[in-house]
Amino acid sequence: MHLIKRNYTRQILTMLICSFLICWSMALIASPVRQEIRQFIDEMVAQHGFNQSKLEDIFNRVQFQPTIIDLISVPASSIPWNKYRARFINSQRIKSGVNFWNEHAQKLEQASQVFGVPAEIIVAIIGVETAYGTTTGKHRVIDALTTLAFDFPRRADFFKSELEQYLLLAQEQNFDLFSIRGSYAGAIGFPQFMPGSYRRYAIDFDGDGKTDLTSNPTDAIGSVANYLKEYGWEAGGPIITRAHVPIDSNHYQEILLAGIEPIHPVKKLRAANIIPLQKTGDERLAALIELKDEDTHQYWLGFKNFYVITRYNRSTFYAMSVLQLAEAIRAARNSSLR
């Protein structure tokens, strides 16, 4: 009799233990706060004094977005320069740029005076980035950054850092983490600043006590100008000039492969038969820039200010689109003011 009771008791205990283990395992599987996220939470608590339970609640509400991984995994298109250019330099974007400039002329002039960055460059960057604030992104930034930080191993460190910056930004500015929408990469507002850039370079340019890049174009104007200035924009300095490059030049490929940082004195380029088509000081540093169409190549010399624009986006196509859109907007505006 005692033996039967002992066996029965063992069976009950075994069933209870198994049930507990099954429930515990299912809870771990179902929990959206994965182990690596818990480790991130611990780091935020230790390094920045965040409340652990609040962070756990936040990450319980985050929605992972597999489509974001698909979007960011698509390799950069190798389309020719003329097709890339057409995306941004067209009649609609030029007209909208003139309207944006006219609407914010006073603040653009102020930004140019304070930071030394031409108004048309500021307008063109906002135009290329978000069509003057009309296409700022549809993804919740917290979802995008969390997805990329923990499900995109190739750049996990970068996006984990940006997620950290976003949490700090929300704490500093006291906004709802789940209310801000941006690009699939987590870029925010009119100028598409990543959270780290937002914290470092965004400014309250209208003096209302808030730094708002999502709905305040004045703050966006000042912040873009400040960003470029902080990266070394030279007020009144040259940006780029066309260059003649003989296809039989012995050194042009070597100079081209050196990259977009201006490290070559113009006199060295002249010695390699790379000739600027505008008057340029021999000691000024430049990089050789190549723009490829289907059948032709263009060659330019990019100076420090061109390189500064590539700190916003490292593509030479991007920087050239900004410059040519800026020129087109200025020309169209000047024409309309005559």
- What one-character DSSP code corresponds to residue 250? S
The CA-CA-CA angle for residues 83, 84, 86, to 5°, reads 65
Report the DSSP pairing between strands 285-292 and 264-265. Answer: antiparallel
Which residue is listed with tokens 């965040």? 50
272 burial (CB, 10 Å; 0-12 / 13-18 / 19+) is middle
Contacts of 51 (CB under 8 A, 6+ apart): 45
* Chain mean position to CA 332: 28
Cβ-contact 165, 199 below 8 angstroms: yes
The active-site residue out of 36, 43, 103, 129 is: 129
137's torsion region: left (phi>0), alpha (psi -120 to 50) or beta?
left
Helices (H), 50-209: 52-61, 66-73, 81-88, 91-103, 105-115, 119-130, 141-151, 156-173, 195-201
Q: What is the tally of helices (H) and strands (E) in the chain? A: 16, 7
Closest by CA to 220, choosing from 82, 320, 317, 103, is 103
Exposure string of 44-67, with b = 16+ CB inside 10 Å and e = fewer, is beeeeebeeeebbebbeebeebee
Q: Is 254 a catalytic residue?
A: no
Catalytic residues: 129
